[in-house]
Structure 1
Amino acid sequence: MGKKADKTNVMRILDKKKVKYNYYSYDSTKLKFVDVANSRGQDLAMTFKALVIVGKSKEYYVFMVPMENELDLKKAAKVAGEKSLEMIPQKELLSVTGYIHGGCSPIGMKNQFRTFIEKRSNCTNKVCRWF
């Protein structure tokens, strides 16, 4: 019998709510999430990344965008009602969210932040994947 994987915050929350999910792991120091998604045959348009952003007001936001896309910070600022936004430094990610780079999820963060998810017409019948 193999070693049981440590559960993440999101896994514990989904278990508590009795939500079915699949768990995949990879060594983010050796692979990029795009390579992992491609190797699994996942549609990059249906696989989202969580980007943690800070506004001029010092408020934090999470933007979920397809892995194949980049976040337009000017458009994101307008949606969030901020004058400007910028990515938080990677070294601050763990202290702000409780997650490390490559494993960030809007579910289970240390603090709840306003989260914006890019609407995709092909995501209507299921929750899309995210890294």
Structure 2
Amino acid sequence: MTPAIDLVKKKKINHTIHEYCHDASAVSSGESYGQEAAGKMGVAAEQVFKTLVVMLDNKELVVAIIPVSSMLSMKHIAKAAKTKKAVMANKQDVERSTGYVLGGVSPLGQKKRLRTFIDSTAESFTTMFVSAGKRGLEIELGPVDLAKLLSAHFSELSA
């Protein structure tokens, strides 16, 4: 169990856990963790979402959840967060604030609850996949349920 799985169970959110064998050599050869997840689960990359942590110009850390097939627009996340500038947070800040390692960062069950934004493309799916807090483990759940759990806002985030 991970804190992410514990949270969806505690809140009685309809979900499915998907496990696959993570291959470290796939990521070292240039494939992203999210692309690996989509391929191993046999689902469209547009339906698998990655959890990114960014730092705003006021030093606040926020979470952006975007399709693994997309790139995060710093301009769009800054606008969604109502600030002027955003940059990717460094690895240490991400791991310290979320409690998860890179490649397994879940938007759910983080150590410190961060303000969260979900790419608006998620609204077109009945279910979406996000990390369950460990490489090789994904949670499938409804976008609206995810947004409610996180008090998140849907916004245009992809470049």
Q: How many residues align?
A: 123
2:91 maps to a residue whose letter is Q
5+ residue gaps in structure 2? 28-32, 132-159
* Residue matched to 2:6: 12
Q: Which one has the largest radius of gyration? A: 1
TM-score (norm 2): 0.70
TM-score (norm 1): 0.84
Other structure's SS at 1:54 match:
strand
1:49 maps to a residue whose letter is K
Query: Among residues 108, 122, 125, which one is paired with 2:124 in the alignment?
Result: 122
Q: Distance in 2 between matches of 1:115 and 1:82?
A: 14
Q: Is the 8 A contact 1:28 1:102 kept in 2?
A: no
* Greater percentage in strand: 2
* Residue matched to 1:73: 74
Q: Quick one: percent identity of the two aligned structures?
A: 28
Q: Distance in 2 between matches of 1:36 and 1:78?
A: 29
* Residue matched to 2:25: 30
2:58 maps to a residue whose letter is S
* Residue matched to 1:54: 55
* Greater percentage in helix: 2
Q: Is the 8 A contact 1:26 1:36 kept in 2?
A: no
Aligned-residue CA RMSD (Å): 1.7
5+ residue gaps in structure 1? 1-6
